Structure 1
Amino acid sequence: MRFRLLIIVLLLFEVSSAQEKSSELILGNWKYIKTIDLRSTNEKSKYEDIPWDPIETDDRTGYPIRTFIENGEFTNYYTNDLTEQGKWEIQDSILILTHRISPKTVLSNKERSEKFVQKGAITKGSDGLIYQQPIEIKIKLLTKEKLELGNEKTYSIHEKIK
């Protein structure tokens, strides 16, 4: 019985330690490099491609430079005029991003925002700010220099900017 308890305690410590390590490795600025799609033609035909009109970005990729900050905040930088903020956390190799709706947007659409909060489409955080529903993305790989988000068949590759 004591041996089982010791193993359980050690496993819990390892999981906690791995989560802390992931949370440390992800800190900093990450730039989108490319998307890998390893699905077969048959697998791809089961899904309809949605036309994508990329957001204008300084690096012309359509993807933001994402900065993860130690306090659990993140910023998506598209251009000087377009940034997004929110909260992030890692749980069981899942990156959870909760985008914050800018106070300016909430104030300009106050009635609509209140209606969406009541319906549960958006939430009011303990900080009094309004957030979209969380997005959960599987972390396939996380090292000091490389981040892969997605699954075994389709995933995006990001590199840390120094």
Structure 2
Amino acid sequence: MSIEGRGRRKTNPNGPGPGVDEAIRALLLLMPRMVGRAKRIPVPEELQSLSLAPRHLSLLSCLLFDGPMTVNDLAARLEVAPTTVSLMVGELSRKGILERREDEADRRRRIVSITDSKRPTIDSWLARGAHAWRQALNPLTPEQRQMFVQTLQAYEAAMADREDD
């Protein structure tokens, strides 16, 4: 596979800022550093034996950021099927990380939350990433933040499309 766009102009003919190829070069250098830094955040000793995967971190981040919620709400936030979330919740509940309780307003529903005993450890572990994103996103306008998120989503979708080839 070749890298498209070799030898093209570094500047953007349409105005200030880098051209597409120059932005790609910058991102090709930046992305591995970002992933490397994220991977170097040590898992707290209390959680090391629990074999947490990236999918668990997304679920825990949602619960920390947005508070307790139902499996269906978690599934919508994580953009996965409720059965997938239900399996993860069951797994993390058995490990003592999550708890399910009845919803006082509707006893048929279950509310998922992080256990009080694990919350401080998980919060301090994941707070660094949330703080870094807040620092990066705060200076942007709401429209710029939306464009940034949509750009990352488009990149992820394009990478997924290439996996299917």
Same fold (TM over 0.5): no
Larger Rg: 2
Between structures 1 and 2, the one with greater strand share: 1
Greater RCO, CA 8 A, separation 6+: 1
Between structures 1 and 2, the one with greater helix share: 2
